[in-house]
Amino acid sequence: MPKQKAYYIIDFDSTFTQVEALDELARISLKNHPDKEAIFQKIEDYTNFAMEGKLSFSESLAQRVKLLEANEDHLKQLIKHLKKKVSTSFSRNAEFFKKHADEVLIVSGGFKEFITPVVSQYHIKKENIYANTFVTTGDGKIIDYDHANPLSEEGGKVKLLQHLKLEGELFGIGDGYSDFQLRESGIINKFFAFTENIARESIVSKADHVTPSFDEFLYVNDLPRAISYPKNRILCLVIGEVDPLTISILKNDGLSIRHKTSFEEKYVKDVGIILLANGEKIDREQLKNAAKLKTIGYLGSAKNKIDLNLCTKQGIVVFDDPKNNPRNIDFIPKRVADFMNTGATYLSSNFPNLQLPKIEKSHRLIHIHKNVPGIMAKINTVFAKHDINIVSQFLMTNSEIGYAITDINTQYDKQLFKSLKKIEQTIKFRVLY
């Protein structure tokens, strides 16, 4: 039986973009208004009441447009602003939208006037953008919206999709009540609550799946994506007293953070990254059992606090700050994030130092192995057997290990990974993107 065609119904505000566009438009149009703060608050309240299902969408929309006092010049400023505010995980997966242009629909209670210029950059077809439209006066003032558009009404997304009669498997991605209504009405097969920008508890609790990023959505549905493994699935354990700014760098990178006073046993098998406050220690037994641990960031000198030799043997990259410079609060988390994103071991304490630019339209594979002769020949034999074309390849070694990064530009199958992991003397293997 042929597979059903899939459609991806994507919300705009706080989903495709990081912000609520009408709230942002108000900040532009009311910039010089004496009561601007009070009006901003009212507009934000109306937005949230509708998103949480506490106020009908049509009532919320009417009240917000009335308060805006906006014109076409304000819209131009808004569009420029929104283009810089596309959600990070959507922008890095631009290739997905190009490949699936026929199946992606933007369905929003927002307005075409600002949505179309933003999403069109991502190859989303104009005919697949469904949203409200403003009513303007001859001199460009926004005075109202088209009340005949079903998307301006309560349950508008449901009415629109009933009218479209799409046949196939329908996935909804959004952050608000109007997105959940599609699932509640039975029109879509699955609702994914998108929480990269905002998590509304009343919506999250009703979702089929919570997706902290678009990478997560693509991963669970086995769709092509920019990074192989969603960052929100990587557990980052922060231990001890650490400056919140230091933690925020890793949190903003999309990692799943747990802040604890000690390295609890329940995290040993699953932790991918550890960030340690100065003075904290990790014992050898825990290090030995931390099979998924890829890197440790130490906020001070790691000497006598971590067994660096054991870390090297286990393929764990360590970054520390031997001079213990208190002004360097962003140095270690940035090094850790850079390693996770690009494989760069620059300024690490125990690994050969390697720093590489990201190569577009390629997949980056990392192979850590014991430094014995002939390993690279074996790695390249595996690539040759799988007809893989190598774009670039780098190897750095020290007395203990070899650290190899290979960029390939072809699609691969899972068997390739198995073959690379089976090479004798392999310590760790992973795909970055």
* pLDDT digits 0-9 by tens, 357-399: 888 888 999 999 999 999 999 999 999 999 998 999 999 999 9
pLDDT band at 424 (very low <50, low <70, confident <90, very high): very high
The pLDDT of 161-176, averaged and rounded, is 96
Quickly list DSSP for 392-432.
Answer: EEEEEE-SSEEEEEEEE-S---HHHHHHHHHSTTEEEEEE-
pLDDT at 300: 92
- Residue 80 CB partners (closer than 8 Å, separation 6+): none
Report whether pLDDT(145) > 60.
yes
pLDDT at 326: 65
pLDDT tens for 398-413 read 999 999 999 998 777 8
The pLDDT of 264-276, averaged and rounded, is 95
pLDDT at 50: 83
Report whether pLDDT(324) > 80.
no
- Alpha-carbon distances of 251 from 176, 257, 258, 333, 344, rounded to whole Å: 23, 7, 10, 10, 19
The pLDDT of 17-42, averaged and rounded, is 92
Mean pLDDT over all residues of the chain?
Answer: 93
- What is the pTM assigned to this prediction? 0.82
Q: Which of 56, 325, 48 has the alpha carbon at shortest distance from 201?
A: 48
The pLDDT of 332-343, averaged and rounded, is 94
Report whether pLDDT(312) > 60.
yes
- Residue 200 CB partners (closer than 8 Å, separation 6+): 51, 52, 175, 176, 177, 193
pLDDT at 384: 93
Report whether pLDDT(1) > 60.
no
E-strand ranges in 190-303 read: 190-194, 209-211, 235-239, 256-260, 271-276, 295-298
